[in-house]
């Protein structure tokens, strides 16, 4: 999140580049998306993430967290850690009890 929010507007540029083949950074974004999809599939096979989480949804969640950080209010009001924790807890599977 820190890396993608280093430059104001980078999150939007990267998000648009993923879906716009005419942008200079499309190939890099597509490669990153592909690698992330491979990792997500491996995590699903291992039972570590929800079976219905798609690569697009994962990147949307991460882009959202990066946007929150980029637009954090000054004076220690950055809620990125909490936001990211909520995202992470919402995507993990838990053993059923009872």
d(CA 28, CA 17): 9
* Ranges 13-22, 29-38, 69-78, most confident: 29-38
Q: How far is CA 82 from CA 1, 30, 60, 95, 97, in A?
A: 12, 28, 17, 23, 27
Q: Is residue 1's pLDDT more than 80? A: no
DSSP annotation of 1: -
Cα 42 from Cα 64, distance rounded (Å): 23
| Residue pLDDT, tens place only, 38-77 | 999 999 999 988 889 899 888 888 888 777 777 776 666 6
Quote the CA–CA distance of 67 and 40 in Å, as a whole number.
22
Q: What is the pTM for the complete model shown?
A: 0.65
pLDDT digits (tens, 9 = 90+) for 82-95: 777 777 776 666 66
Q: Is the pLDDT of residue 27 over 70?
A: yes
* CA 82 to chain centroid: 14
């Amino acid at each position: 999140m820190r890396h993608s929010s280093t430059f104001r507007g980078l999150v939007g540029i990267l998000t648009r580049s993923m879906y716009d083949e005419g942008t200079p950074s499309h190939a890099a974004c597509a490669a990153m998306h592909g690698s992330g999809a491979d990792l997500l599939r491996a995590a699903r096979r291992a039972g570590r993430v929800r079976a219905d989480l798609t690569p697009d949804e994962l990147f949307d969640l991460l882009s959202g967290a990066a946007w929150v950080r980029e637009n954090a209010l000054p004076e220690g009001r950055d809620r990125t850690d909490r936001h990211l924790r909520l995202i992470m807890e919402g995507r993990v599977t838990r053993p059923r009890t009872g």
